[in-house]
Amino acid sequence: MDEILSKIDDPKILSQIEKIIPFHGYLSTGAFIGIQMLTIAQRLLDIKEDDKVYVTCETFNCLPDPFQILCGCTVGNKGLKILDYGKMAMTINKAAKPGDKMVQGLRIILDPAKTADYPILHAWYMNERKISHEDAISELIKAGDAVYTWEYVDLPVPVKLKKKVAICRKCGESFVIIDDEDFCRTCF
């Protein structure tokens, strides 16, 4: 791992890696991709350190962890949504201003057409053969932004509804009502 860190000259990325490793357990390729995606989004959306952001990751695998540690986005605070589509992709946006119905976000993918220019990374990404995290991350460091594709997207600002709680008629446990159901999702 020291060999990888010696290839990085950006103190901000080194600091981010130091925060990710204890949380994730090690520096995985997916977590490093998350750091790179966050860096792209911060630049293109002018995200400052104290800005509230919302992230949707399209995989459970490693990618969400940097956003939890570096942005404070969690499932519990509704800052992190995970849609397990199995894609190395994420969408990020800053919090909307009061009254806004739409907010601009940025969707970023690790683009297989672009990773093809980096054979070791591409082999890792397409799971063609066993590639160590060190080798894949070394390729990501070389590639920088060149292996990502992004587009601006308009996202609807969700309306915050008042939470309604009921007692399930079958199991007797309380649950949050989505419509006007009489049974919790477990008993339904």
In angstroms, the CA 151 to CA 105 distance is 8
Does pLDDT of 10 surpass 90? no
Does pLDDT of 160 surpass 80? no
Residues 57-104: tens digit of each pLDDT: 999 999 999 999 999 999 999 999 999 999 999 999 999 999 999 999
- DSSP annotation string for 33-87: HHHHHHHHHHHHTT--TT--EEEEES-SSSTTHHHHHHH---TTTTSEEE---S-
- Mean pLDDT (the chain) is 93
| pTM passes above 0.85 | yes
Residues 37-65: tens digit of each pLDDT: 999 999 999 999 889 999 999 999 999 99
In angstroms, the CA 116 to CA 160 distance is 43
Q: Where are the domains of the chain?
A: 2-157, 161-188
Does pLDDT of 180 surpass 90? no
Percent of the chain beyond pLDDT 70? 100
Q: Which two tokens stand for residue 30?
A: 């997916």
Query: First vs last Cα of the chain: how many Å apart?
Result: 49
Does pLDDT of 163 surpass 90? no
CATH of 2-157, one of 3.30.43.10, 3.40.309.10, 3.90.660.10, 3.30.1330.130: 3.30.1330.130
Q: What is the mean pLDDT of residues 134-151?
A: 96
